[in-house]
Structure 1
Amino acid sequence: MSPSLVRGRRVLPVAAVLALLTAAALTTSVPSASGERALATSTPTGPMELPAEWMTAQRLSDGSTNLSAAKYARARGEANQLAAHTRNVYRHLAEQEWNFFGPSNIGGRVVDIAVDPQVPDQVFIAAASGGVWRSGDAGATFEPAWPDTWQQSMGAVAMTTDGVLFAGTGEAQPGGGSITFGGDGIYRSRDRGKTWQHVGLADSHAIARFAIDPSDQDRIFAAAAGNLFVPGGERGVYLSDDGGDSWRQVLAPPNPTTGATEVLIDPSNPARVYAAMWDHLREPHQRTYGGPGSSLWRSDDGGQSWQRLTNDLPTDADQGRWGIALAPSDPDRLYAYVGTALGPFRAFYRSDDGGDSWTQTPVNANQASQSTFSWWFGKLWVDPANAEHVFLAGVNLRRSTDGGQSFGNVGGVHADQHVMRWDPKVPGRAYLGNDGGFYRSESNGVSNWVKSTYEPYTQFYTVDVAQTDPALKVGGAQDNGCNRGYNGPGGPWNAIGCGDGLQVIIHPENPNIVFGCSQYGSCYRSETAGGSPRQSIGAGQTTSDRRNWLTPLQFDPSDPDVMYYAGNIVNRSTDNGRTWTAISPDLTGGGPNDPSGYPWGTITTIAAAPTDGDKLYVGTDDGKLWWTDNLGQSWNEVDPGQLPGTWVTRVAVHPKDANIAYATFSAFRSGSDRPHVMVTRDGGRTWTDIGRGLPDAPVNSVVPTSDGLLLVGTDVGVFVSAWNGGGWAALGADLPEAAVMYLRYHEPTRQLTAATFGRGIYDLTVPRCPAASTKLPLRDPGVGVVGALASCRAG
């Protein structure tokens, strides 16, 4: 074939390809410390519209309009059935153990805290996608208080004075670059988290807060935020009069897209209850995070009737998320603040008469520290002993000593605050939860915040292991940067830069050479294992118009000095990432219709063949697959009719045959025959679905082994097949039920490493399956699979 660009049967000459490359504009991607900040910097495209999120966008790439808890419940049910089948038929696969590698000292998003009123130093926390955790040493270390085998998304925890613990599933603050998963209602534990019972509101999707009547511990209010994607369902404020056995709605939202995000009780008058409502909806290509339903409410009869608080407060539609708090030492003192529908801070208010009237304080956007995403916070806290001492959730923790007239910064903690609680048993002790984990202050929250030393609930996007030693690992974490774990299993990890941590990789021959990437392809090269000095890689050094949130950066397995980086154009380096040359045109559908929206039209994955340095495969967010046999002199697009059209999450090439490659896809089948895993056996020309039998859930990663196994990581677990993919089994039985975002296989030791979004990094030794290597992948799907997997043995 002469040098050309082949798309189906259309041919573009090399001159046209070079013209496309020459015309490619360079863009600058500004890294930030949080996914929410990065996405919110775009200019709105219309009233109350903002760009789509990365993790959400790929899961909606099948054209769906929502990520319902029901979809995940069905997928988990299918995963459980496959696990049961594996235990019965492939015992040695089921018996493999997943071992937690780390990190335990990085942490992750903590959204709520419950202080045990009876047991000294005992607290419970809700980790965003990591379940409920218990600490018996005032938050220095944590242990699980939630089943690993249940969905891990959490929104709220609370405890009665007699020790009954409640957990509300589903996270109520929607993500930016990350994702917030929905839940299936409220759970109750009568033994402090040892066992749990589901007690209601299965269609609430997200529980944002509990409030327990101090005069009657059986009276419990729950703020139900509702499904982020679908109007209706169980929303608003609910009340249980029987300790959680039953729930009834006491405050209905004013419209189907509004839910409750806060509920609190006047401790001196439990008949007085306050609530905050938030009008918000996430659609495939925009988010509307404010509207006429956003409002504050009060009940003076224990929740039987409610009135909307409007005196001196805004009543227009440009209201985003509200935050409200009362002063326990002076319950008539209330504080509230609200963002705009687009996200920036709008105004701060104070009431001295229980909400009858309000005064706007001089607090401005800079003092509020809400950036452009006030919907990520919506929380206020008042010192129990001092009504003038107020804390405000924001990017920074903000503190006022003059009753909300002004705010200053409280340093020493991670960004993005979500919850603060005081321990009534220990004067001056305060606890804080944010995107970086759990903190304790013994100085009333003013200073001296101490971070937990053991909190293994980090949300990872990626992981890599050193080829020279699989005990050396790096990974990229949501809002917790790039991290290095070179101290073995259980050892401390070190932060090595980045805002959000995305792709992080280790040189195959020299673990001191590490590459780390923030969002949108702002990467670096380091020869000090991620430390300084760092050489920048990104917009100024590579060619692309658009870059994905997780911009792929990969080594060529046939030559460690050769690397690939791609936005919408593939870039190649032959000097280990120091300099780059573009080797492709735009391999996407041409970019977003809305230039200020999510940057659709980006490359999401690159794979070079281990046995042929000229052979590359590329996948995109708009569902395209490409290959080249001549190192980019010509590019061939796979016929779109063969493919599902959904987001391509990963491509991997057979370790022994460059013409065999595997591609995985996000989104759901939702009753269709849309594939999640496909194989080509002819170098990319034709592709076959080999994912039948897997749970209907996004597949995020794929790894073929040299001895005949195929491993995939999904939103609901890790699964294994023989190369031809004709049958699947669950791999291991004790991996926590968090989305598996990335797999890395170390061939010499058979170690498989999984990066989970909410429970950190896990390792497993892949069993040997002698029959798998004898079943060539060129056979028809299904041939010999049962025999292959049945031959698996440990060691």
Structure 2
Amino acid sequence: RNTGDSIHPDQHHLAFDPSDPNVLYACNDGGVFRSPNGGTNWKSLNPGLSITEFEFIIHLESQDEWVIGGTQDNGTLGNATNSSWNQIALGDGGDCGADDGHKLCYHSYYGIWIERAAALGPKAFDWVEVSPPASDDYDALFYPPMDVSGNIVTKAGVTLWVSDDKGNNWEEVDFGGGGEKASAVVIFSRDTIFVGTERGQIVRIKRAGGGWTDSTVTSLASPRDGFISDIVVPGTPNKIVWASCSAFGGGHVFRSMDGGKTWKDRSGNLPDIPVNAIVVDPQNLQSVFAATDHGVYRTQNSGDKWADFSNGLPNAVVGDMILHGRRRLLRVGTRNRGAWEVKI
């Protein structure tokens, strides 16, 4: 039964009040709820609890406060005022994207599904499906990576899907992964895309002629055998490339100075924990932030030495991280303690 506040269907734990067996507490993917009458009515106990599991976050650089994020089993949440979050899409909230020029945003569920909407105005978050035409048995991570840059939208599984017109039409690119699923994708320019895989492959895809189907795919050196969680190209694509690995053992942050032909481990004194995202400060390319399974770390010398940069962040797995360049705000989505931001 479910009356009163909506209770999440995915339950983890139930507990009765030892002083009153009619009082029941439920812990689930939606938080904590209390029933005073054995489950007939429920009241949410979540106000004030920062416990949302953010998998991905994105913002509009032109807007001071506009942020959306995909959350585990609680849909996609949006925050345009820095005061409260609203659920703007249901289900399992996957990767997100934003097109600042056209003021559009994209969100995804698990699998290859994508939806697009206006980011601002009266039709904000009025979603329209723009998914790639993948088959029902298409193989991809539970949360496949996506990226958005202007009109270009990408989504990747065992192949790369690219749209040049905001998701209205798609082309499929075989990036030669041998069945490995993409774990990271970044649009460097209107002609160049990088893809990383769950087993450490990194490829550069260069548009051929007017389309993507016959693109030139260049296999770059592999930093290591492991889950490539992020790729950052802060300059020209044939020079500096950063990559992170979400795995234990071995290196976690790598840098290439020759466009991916060779890599050097720049993990330095980072603890042996997965790195889930990296951000390179565009105002100082030696300043790099690493989102890890235990907070955020920063190097100011390209990885020679790292320091804890959690700055009051709770003990949390940081799943994604972005930098609002104009406001100099580093924003993170954690997988157990909500979303946070700090001035850098």
Place the TM-score, normalised by the shorter chain, in its bin: 0.7 to 0.9
| Contact map agreement 2:93 2:110 (CA 8 A) in 1 | yes
Could you list the per-position Cα deviations for residues 163-218 of structure 1 after superposition, in whole angstroms to 9, with x for gaps in the alignment?
xxxxxxxxxxxxxxxxxxxxxxxxxxxxxxxxxxxxxxxxxxxxxxxxxxxxxxxx
Aligned equivalent of 2:219, options 629, 637, 654: 637
Deviation at 1:626, TM superposition (A): 0.7
Aligned equivalent of 2:176, options 587, 592, 597: 587
Residue of structure 2 in register with 1:502 after alignment: 94
| Contact map agreement 1:498 1:517 (CA 8 A) in 2 | no
Residue of structure 2 in register with 1:662 after alignment: 242
Structure with max Cα Rg: 1
- Partner Cα distance (1:635, 1:693) in 2: 34
Deviation at 1:635, TM superposition (A): 0.8
Amino acid corresponding to residue 177 of structure 2 in structure 1: T
Deviation at 1:711, TM superposition (A): 1.1
Amino acid corresponding to residue 680 of structure 1 in structure 2: S
In the alignment, is residue 649 of structure 1 matched against residue 243 of structure 2?
Answer: no
Residue of structure 2 in register with 1:742 after alignment: 320
Residue of structure 2 in register with 1:700 after alignment: 276
1:80-119 map, 5 Å? none
Residue of structure 1 in register with 2:159 after alignment: 569
Amino acid corresponding to residue 483 of structure 1 in structure 2: L
Pair 464,509 (structure 1): closer, same or farther in 2 beyond 3 Å: same
Residue of structure 1 in register with 2:113 after alignment: 522
Q: Aligned to 1:526, what secondary structure does the other structure show? A: strand
| Contact map agreement 1:542 1:580 (CA 8 A) in 2 | no
| Contact map agreement 2:175 2:217 (CA 8 A) in 1 | no
Pair 711,542 (structure 1): closer, same or farther in 2 beyond 3 Å: farther
Amino acid corresponding to residue 527 of structure 1 in structure 2: A
Residue of structure 2 in register with 1:443 after alignment: 37
Aligned equivalent of 1:678, options 242, 251, 254: 254
User: Tell me, which stretches of 5 or more residues in structure 1 are unaligned?
Assistant: 1-408, 591-600, 767-795
1:209-248 map, 5 Å? none
Pair 675,421 (structure 1): closer, same or farther in 2 beyond 3 Å: closer
Could you list the per-position Cα deviations for residues 212-260 of structure 1 after superposition, in whole angstroms to 9, with x for gaps in the alignment?
xxxxxxxxxxxxxxxxxxxxxxxxxxxxxxxxxxxxxxxxxxxxxxxxx
Deviation at 1:702, TM superposition (A): 0.8
Pair 723,613 (structure 1): closer, same or farther in 2 beyond 3 Å: farther
In the alignment, is residue 619 of structure 1 matched against residue 185 of structure 2?
Answer: no
Pair 450,664 (structure 1): closer, same or farther in 2 beyond 3 Å: closer
Q: Aligned to 2:326, what secondary structure does the other structure show? A: coil
Residue of structure 2 in register with 1:492 after alignment: 84
Could you list the per-position Cα deviations for residues 594-652 of structure 1 after superposition, in whole angstroms to 9, with x for gaps in the alignment?
xxxxxxx211111122xx43232210012101113446521111234xx2111111101
Amino acid corresponding to residue 663 of structure 1 in structure 2: A
Deviation at 1:566, TM superposition (A): 1.2
- Partner Cα distance (1:497, 1:430) in 2: 29
| Contact map agreement 2:72 2:93 (CA 8 A) in 1 | yes
Pair 479,615 (structure 1): closer, same or farther in 2 beyond 3 Å: same
Tell me which stretches of 4 or more aligned residues in structure 1 moved more than 6 Å. none
Q: Aligned to 1:762, what secondary structure does the other structure show? A: strand
Pair 732,738 (structure 1): closer, same or farther in 2 beyond 3 Å: closer
- Partner Cα distance (1:724, 1:544) in 2: 42
Q: Aligned to 1:634, what secondary structure does the other structure show? A: strand
Deviation at 1:510, TM superposition (A): 4.7
Q: Aligned to 1:607, what secondary structure does the other structure show? A: strand
Pair 418,630 (structure 1): closer, same or farther in 2 beyond 3 Å: closer
Amino acid corresponding to residue 729 of structure 1 in structure 2: A
Could you list the per-position Cα deviations for residues 107-131 of structure 1 after superposition, in whole angstroms to 9, with x for gaps in the alignment?
xxxxxxxxxxxxxxxxxxxxxxxxx
- Partner Cα distance (1:573, 1:521) in 2: 13
How many residues get paired?
A: 331
Residue of structure 2 in register with 1:550 after alignment: 143
Pair 698,732 (structure 1): closer, same or farther in 2 beyond 3 Å: closer
Pair 542,604 (structure 1): closer, same or farther in 2 beyond 3 Å: farther
1:201-280 map, 5 Å? none
Could you list the per-position Cα deviations for residues 69-118 of structure 1 after superposition, in whole angstroms to 9, with x for gaps in the alignment?
xxxxxxxxxxxxxxxxxxxxxxxxxxxxxxxxxxxxxxxxxxxxxxxxxx
Deviation at 1:418, TM superposition (A): 2.5
User: Tell me, which stretches of 5 or more residues in structure 2 are unaligned?
Assistant: none
| Contact map agreement 1:541 1:580 (CA 8 A) in 2 | no
- Partner Cα distance (1:678, 1:651) in 2: 10
Q: Aligned to 2:111, what secondary structure does the other structure show? A: helix
Residue of structure 1 in register with 2:334 after alignment: 756
Aligned equivalent of 1:607, options 175, 180, 186: 186
1:278-297 map, 5 Å? none
| Contact map agreement 2:221 2:260 (CA 8 A) in 1 | no
| Contact map agreement 2:152 2:190 (CA 8 A) in 1 | no
Amino acid corresponding to residue 303 of structure 2 in structure 1: G
Q: TM-score, normalised by structure 2?
A: 0.88
Amino acid corresponding to residue 547 of structure 1 in structure 2: A
- Partner Cα distance (2:16, 2:141) in 1: 41
| Contact map agreement 1:544 1:567 (CA 8 A) in 2 | no
Q: Aligned to 2:190, what secondary structure does the other structure show? A: strand
- Partner Cα distance (2:125, 2:37) in 1: 34
Task: Give the number of the structure whose residues are more often helix, by fraction.
Answer: 1
